[in-house]
Amino acid sequence: DAKTTQPNSMESNEEEPVHLPCNHSTISGTDYIHWYRQLPSQGPEYVIHGLTSNVNNRMASLAIAEDRKSSTLILHRATLRDAAVYYCILNLLRNTDKLIFGTGTRLQVFP
Amino acid sequence: KAGVTQTPRYLIKTRGQQVTLSCSPISGHRSVSWYQQTPGQGLQFLFEYFSETQRNKGNFPGRFSGRQFSNSRSEMNVSTLELGDSALYLCASREGDAPGEFFGPGTRLTVL
């Protein structure tokens, strides 16, 4: 299973954009890039996923490097509620599912 | 739709006992996966069930087992509990091959 590398922690102020990086230099051509987050005392929550093109949804944007060896999750305006551990995961999107979670990035948001 | 539910939410057992945890997926979701979360090892995949069949398994000893019923509800069982089995056990469900797993709140198991 391909590995991902993320910074242990990041900080942001409320209402500022946040760019959470993820390196996945051993990604294969069929791996999708998924992001989940885990709020305190809750199970993980799906955020976004992509393969090659940048993606946007109501929660965040995902920017994927042209060589696919790295990606960035973008929170356009951080809120206190976005304080969580963010996980970048590579996953084959087909009929079998097995998420390999790394250590993730703990995001702190200050008022 | 109601989310993924897990019961019980908290459980205390002693070494050597066995435990059964239950998970009800989101209505219509046929894939159910189980994960163990500990401070030391993080989130680790246990197994996945689809249509009552285990189709993927993580690297856990045989003491950890599971099953899925025809209504997609799933149970996981841990026999001969060890102190190191103390963890948050998370269940997640998915709709067919759609991206994104929906996680439940977890069952926190403490082994004394």
Q: How distant is the Cα of A11 from the closest Cα of chain B, in angstroms?
A: 21
The answer to whether the beta carbons of residues B1 and B68 sit under 8 Å apart is: no
Residues B66 and B49: beta-carbon distance below 8 Å: yes
Mutate to test the interface with B, among A97, A101, A103 (most CBs of B within 10 A): A97
- Tens digits of per-residue pLDDT, B37-50? 998 888 999 999 99
Q: What percent of chain A has pLDDT over 90?
A: 70
**Residues in chain A, how many?**
111
B102 contacts A42? CB cut-off 8 A: no
Answer yes or no: do A97 and B42 touch at CB < 8 A: no
What pLDDT, on a 0 to 100 scale, did the predictor assign at position A95?
A: 42
Contact criterion met (CB below 8 Å) for A74 and A59: no
* pLDDT tens by residue, A40-82: 889 999 999 999 999 999 999 999 999 999 999 999 999 999 9
Mean residue pLDDT across chain B:
93
Q: Which of A34, A25, A21, A104 is nearest to B43 (CA)?
A: A104
A17: preceding bond cis by omega (within 30 degrees): no
Q: Do B42 and A103 touch (CB under 8 A)?
A: yes
